[in-house]
Amino acid sequence: MRRKIVAGNWKMNKNYHEGMELVAEAMHMINDELNTEVLTIFASPFIHLANVQKLINGYSNFATAAQNCHHENSGAYTGEIAASMIHSIGASYVLIGHSERRQYFKEDHAMLAKKVDVALENHLSPIFCFGELKEERENAKHFEVVANQLKESLYHLDATAFSKIILAYEPVWAIGTGLTASPEQAQEMHAFIRSNIETQFGKEVAVNCSILYGGSCNPQNAKTLFSQPDIDGGLIGGASLKSRDFTTIVTSFNSI
């Protein structure tokens, strides 16, 4: 059965000392309070990742993720980071397709498909992020947009490769805005995504795929969101920067 997952995406926040303190505090509280098999992932900035990985080594309920990788394996790309480098420090995951990468760094469907391939080749599981803009939902295009994002960047994979992907549905209008999708809106979209995967890859792959929700998820709304049958956890931005808030979100599974 699919895994429950909460991933904290720090974005471009936290210096080294702040980051180490956040991880140490969150690990301590989560290990004290959690009584379920939730996987907690820290997606820190690249520069802290190897040190975060050292803190979590030996704990099967924690993992690290990079926030991005380059779409080529290696080469003359000054300032970029390759999937093989991320894997070599012990990280298991990489965010691909976050809306901020799509918007500010012009990452399109084809580039994201290449990033997915290079991540998988290098034994990283992509956490593939996607979701519609505000105008697209207002014009009732959200299902079409989401289906197209999946098709263009993921549906070239075979079922075995796809089964390594974690999905993160993040409506862009909900990211960092304080406007969360209602549990009903999120569940409706997650059910649509799962049925779309079933059509493409079959029932077993669809049932086993973890689909996270992201966009202003916080300690107050996490439990209701995570209680929905097709929501398997969250990708958390702002609320992952405070150890107490992040822990409350992770442990909200305890009472579901």
Please identify every residue annotated as catalytic. Answer: 98, 170
Quick one: which of 30, 165, 237, 251 contacts ligand PGA (CB under 6 A)?
A: 237
Contact track, ligand PGA, 6-35, x by CB under 6 A: ---x--------------------------
> Which residues within the stretch 187-216 sit at the binding site for ligand PGA (CB under 6 A)?
214-216
CB distance 124 to 92 below 8 Å? yes
Tell me which stretch binds ligand PGA (CB under 6 A): 86-94, 135-143, 233-241, 243-251.
233-241
Q: Which is nearer to ligand PGA, 44 or 206 (CB)?
A: 44
Q: State both tokens at 123.
A: 């034994």
The candidate with the shortest Cα–Cα distance to 180, out of 144, 146, 143, 131, is 131
- 22/206 with CB nearer ligand PGA: 22
Query: With CB under 6 A, what is the number of residues at the site for ligand PGA?
Result: 13
In DSSP notation, 142-199 reads HHHHHHHHHHHHHTTS-HHHHTT-EEEE--GGGTTTS-PPPHHHHHHHHHHHHHHHHH
Strand partners, 199: none
With respect to ligand PGA, which residue has the nearer C-beta, 201 or 215? 215
Alpha-carbon dihedral 40, 219, 239, 132, rounded to 10 degrees: 90
Q: Which of 94, 175, 181, 186 binds ligand PGA (CB under 6 A)?
A: 175
Q: Which is nearer to ligand PGA, 9 or 247 (CB)?
A: 9
65 torsion bin: left (phi>0), alpha (psi -120 to 50), beta (else): beta
236 binds ligand PGA (CB under 6 A): yes
DSSP assigned state of 234: E
**Positions that interact with ligand PGA (CB under 6 A):** 9, 170, 175-176, 214-217, 235-239
